[in-house]
Amino acid sequence: MADTASLRLSPTQKKRAKDIFSSPIASAAAIVIAVLWTIPTFSLLVTSIRPETDINSSGWWTFFANPNVSFENYEKVLFVGTGVNPPMFQYFFNSLAVTIPAVIFPITLAVFAAYALAWFDFKGRDAIFFTIFALQVVPLQLTLVPLLQLFSQGLVIGGVTLIPSLGITGTYIPIWIAHTIFGLPLAIFLLHNFLRQIPRELIEAGRVDGANWFTMFTKIVLPLSIPAIASFLIFQFLWVWNDLLVGLTFGAGSKSVAPMTVRLAEMVGTRGSGWEVLTAGAFVSIVVPLIVFFALQRYFVRGLLAGSVKG
Amino acid sequence: MRGSVWDVIGPNLTLLVISLAAFAAVIYALFLIGSRASVRWQGWLRYGVFLGPALLLLLVGLIYPALRTIWLSFMDKRSENFIGFDNYIWAFTIPEIQIVLRNTVLWVIFVPIVSTLIGLAIAYMTDRMKRASVVKSLIFMPMAISFVGASVIWGFMYNFEPNEDKVEIGLLNAILRGVGIEPRNFLLEAPGNTFFLIAVLIWIQTGFAMVILSAAMKNVPDEIVEAAMLDGASNWRRFVRVTLPMIRGTVVVVLTTITIGTLKVFDIVRTMTGGNFQTNVIANEMYAQSFRQLNYGQGSALAVILFLGVVPIIWYNVRQLRLERTER
């Protein structure tokens, strides 16, 4: 390779040199790594559609010599509960019910705050912005115990009740609020960076036209920020859907609000959950994010590139 | 059974719909009031509507709890008596917790470095490759899988059959047996088991590193790369002398981002070994102390130790952001 490059190159030679640098060895190596990376997930999918006896008596790779397909595992895990445990179907609904508001609430509040921080002029604006930026990486663990107590007992300082006990423990509400709080710093930071790029003339023209801060938001700012919102939406969706810690802590151990991740983790720890239910259950829980991921990968990558620190 | 499922889902669905409707109604009403208010009123109202909710939530839900956790870490089990640094002394002197701290250090060293190295290698290999997007998608895919899901996937890969007469159904042990090596219980034997858990997070994070680094490499101007080629630089030299220095900033961002995520790793350890067999880490022990032992003092101290781990990163990030802002 070195001797082709030591010559002065004409455009066609340059192009050829470029092709050489996309060397077949490197490409082959990349393909091999990609295949290795996919095997674990692939084995889960294959196993989940094999009959129980096959799974336990032969490796999943023998499926291709002896393709024996069965959807019994899915039927069992989705619609048949075990003893006190409801079927996965109910947890699937819980995951949806947890995720939808836990995505909508923080994005809405974050667009508002980002708009204010980007376009309102007031003292202390930078201080607030830097604080929010720093809050992004504060570990959730640092807030769990007091936040949970806040939900169950309210907030009383020196005998004065600042926030009463709300009686919402065991519903979705604490999970929604917790996810909203934890999602806000990153959302505000990303959207703020985006909203600041709106040309100042556009905002000033709006002011001159007599549009007030509220109509300006709905008429100018919101339509312009749709791409940034889309990026963060996918981010927050994957984050909430895949979360275990928040669901476990703020679900208060209630089976009627626990998301799928909580149930799946519980199944792993239970004797008697064989691979036939575990693989099918795991696939049910990862299929939605996988669809979202493959369909909207472009936006997801954009979101990642815009700001890649999350607490 | 199906009937009882709907008994639970019914009220839950009602709560969901009502909550979403209430949220929308409140915001609609605020905008209606805001857009009709007099100019003077609006000057104040806009702070309350746009900035107020987020700031209030962050203050009550993040800043106050964080400060309170720091305070609780100096209190006893039930948060009744002030006991000074006892919880921290406990954390650093009890052998069990020392293993927890050691494991967390192992995670924080290996996950960011190995993921970034592999991500860097793949990004470079695919930089000028045709149809690289399929390859990249496959390596990136684990990012969409939950840590719990990944734990099931890898639990199956690591599966060990104690009965020698039965076949190995876990791929790794089947390979070991195939080449004549004694199969092993990957998750049982310390200290190797921690590394097999670390491998799971590396599997997830490599795609992240690759995507970010690959985007940075695309920004390296073609002329510079071509100039290096003209000078006869080999692929390796071109990488070390040209590409790497130009994307150094991004490499640091990737390393710090993965470090923060790794510090808080909890799901993988909890799901795969439950923290047993000497695989425990701070985040899992913090959860166990706070919510199983109900020892808020020790749990909080562990949370604060975790926080101290990210403080240098916060400081560094804020400094970088300030520099960027003054440059503009």
The DSSP line for A137-167 is TS-GGGTHHHHHHHHHH-EEETTEEEE----
ipTM exceeding 0.90, yes/no: yes
Q: How many residues does chain A have?
A: 311
pLDDT computed for residue B274 by the predictor: 93
Residue A80 placed within a domain: no
Residue of chain B whose Cα is closest to the Cα of A269:
B271
Residue A104 is part of which domain span? Answer: 88-306
DSSP secondary structure string for all residues of A4-31? HHTSPPPHHHHHHHHHHHS-HHHHHHHH
Write the residue in B15, B174, B263 that is nearest to A59 by C-beta.
B174
pLDDT computed for residue A22 by the predictor: 59
Please check whether residues A92 and A66 belong to one and the same domain. no
Structural domain count of chain A: 2
| Helices first, then strands: H and E counts in chain B | 17, 0
Please check whether residues A97 and A67 belong to one and the same domain. no
Q: How far apart are CA B102 and CA B18, in angstroms?
A: 48
Q: How far apart are CA B315 and CA A133, in angstroms?
A: 11
Please check whether residues A107 and A245 belong to one and the same domain. yes
Residue A176 placed within a domain: yes
The SS3 of residue B180 is: coil
| Domain closes at, from A38, A72, A106 | A72
Residue A77 placed within a domain: no
pLDDT computed for residue A309 by the predictor: 43
Residue A255 placed within a domain: yes
- Smallest CA-to-CA distance from A152 within A43, A246, A63, A250 is with A250
Strand partners, A157: A160
Backbone phi, psi, residue A64, to 5°: -75, -25
| Domain closes at, from A72, A100, A127 | A72
pLDDT band at A157 (very low <50, low <70, confident <90, very high): confident
Query: How far out from the chain centre does Cα B303 lie?
Result: 15
Kindly determine whether residue B126 and residue A238, on different chains, have CB atoms separated by under 8 Å.
no
Per-state percent for chain B, helix, strand, coil, to nearest 5? 75, 0, 20
In chain B the beta strands, taken as DSSP E runs, fall at none
Quick count: other Cβ atoms within 10 Å of Cβ B134? Answer: 10
Structure tokens that stand for A106 in this block = 């923080």
State the helix-helix crossing angle for A275-306 and A173-195, rounded to 10 degrees.
30
Q: How far apart are CA B185 and CA B187, in angstroms?
A: 6
> Which residue, among A261, A262, A308, would best test binding to B if mutated, counting the most B CBs under 10 Å from its CB?
A308
pLDDT computed for residue A280 by the predictor: 96
Please check whether residues A152 and A61 belong to one and the same domain. no
Selected residues 191-250 of chain B with any CB under 8 Å from a CB in chain A: 203, 206-208, 211-212, 215, 226, 229-235
Distance from CA of B104 to the nearest CA of A (A): 14
Structure tokens that stand for B107 in this block = 């995670």
Residue A257 placed within a domain: yes
Kindly determine whether residue B23 and residue A108, on different chains, have CB atoms separated by under 8 Å.
yes
A vs B: CB pairs below 8 A: 378
Q: How far apart are CA B328 and CA B317, in angstroms?
A: 17
Query: How far out from the chain centre does Cα B8 lie?
Result: 32
pLDDT computed for residue B1 by the predictor: 45
**What are A259-271's pLDDT values in tens digits?**
999 999 999 987 6
Residue of chain A whose Cα is closest to the Cα of B43:
A213
Token match 């470029």: residue?
A18
Please check whether residues A94 and A41 belong to one and the same domain. no
Kindly determine whether residue A108 and residue B50, on different chains, have CB atoms separated by under 8 Å.
no
**What are A129-156's pLDDT values in tens digits?**
999 999 988 999 999 999 999 998 888 7
Structure tokens that stand for B114 in this block = 């190995």
Please check whether residues A55 and A100 belong to one and the same domain. no
B53 Cβ under 8 Å from any chain A Cβ: yes
Structure tokens that stand for A234 in this block = 């996918």
Residues in A touching B152 (Cβ below 8 Å): 44, 264, 268, 278-279, 281-282
**What are B31-48's pLDDT values in tens digits?**
999 888 888 888 889 999
What amino acid occupies position B224? Answer: I
Q: How far apart are CA A211 and CA A205, in angstroms?
A: 9
Distance from CA of A200 to the nearest CA of B (A): 15
Token match 């560094």: residue?
B316
CATH classification at residue A111: 1.10.3720.10
pLDDT computed for residue B165 by the predictor: 87
Please check whether residues A58 and A200 belong to one and the same domain. no
Residue A287 placed within a domain: yes
Structure tokens that stand for B280 in this block = 């425990």
Q: How far apart are CA A59 and CA A54, in angstroms?
A: 8
pLDDT band at A215 (very low <50, low <70, confident <90, very high): confident
The SS3 of residue A82 is: strand
Q: How far apart are CA B190 and CA B3, in angstroms?
A: 47
pLDDT at A165 over 80: no
Please check whether residues A94 and A26 belong to one and the same domain. no
Please check whether residues A219 and A300 belong to one and the same domain. yes
Please check whether residues A36 and A152 belong to one and the same domain. no
Instruction: Tell me which of A15-19, A64-68, B79-83 is least confident.
Output: A15-19
With a cut of 50, list the residues of chain B below it in pLDDT: 1-2
The SS3 of residue A272 is: coil
The proportion of chain A whose per-residue pLDDT surpasses 90, expressed as a percent, equals 60
Q: How far apart are CA A289 and CA A155, in angstroms?
A: 37
DSSP B83: -
Model-level pTM? 0.92
Alpha helices in B37-181 (DSSP H): 39-46, 52-58, 64-72, 86-93, 95-126, 132-140, 147-157, 171-178
Tell me the HSE value of A227 on the side-chain side, using a 13 A CA sphere.
Answer: 11
Residues in A touching B257 (Cβ below 8 Å): 308-310
Q: How far apart are CA A190 and CA A308, in angstroms?
A: 10
Residue A94 placed within a domain: yes
- Contacts (Cβ under 8 Å, ≥6 apart) of A83: none
Residue A82 placed within a domain: no
Residue of chain B whose Cα is closest to the Cα of A303:
B212
pLDDT computed for residue B109 by the predictor: 97
- Smallest CA-to-CA distance from B1 within A253, A88, A267 is with A88
Burial label, B291 (beta-carbon count in 10 A; 0-12, 13-18, 19+): middle
pLDDT computed for residue B53 by the predictor: 95
Token match 């995505």: residue?
A103
Structure tokens that stand for A214 in this block = 């509220």
Please check whether residues A21 and A139 belong to one and the same domain. no
Residue of chain A whose Cα is closest to the Cα of B146:
A242
Please check whether residues A61 and A97 belong to one and the same domain. no
- The 8 Å CB, 24+ separation contacts for B78-87 are B78/B296, B79/B296, B79/B297, B83/B297, B86/B297, B87/B297, B87/B298, B87/B300, B87/B301
pLDDT computed for residue A5 by the predictor: 43
Kindly determine whether residue B20 and residue A100, on different chains, have CB atoms separated by under 8 Å.
yes
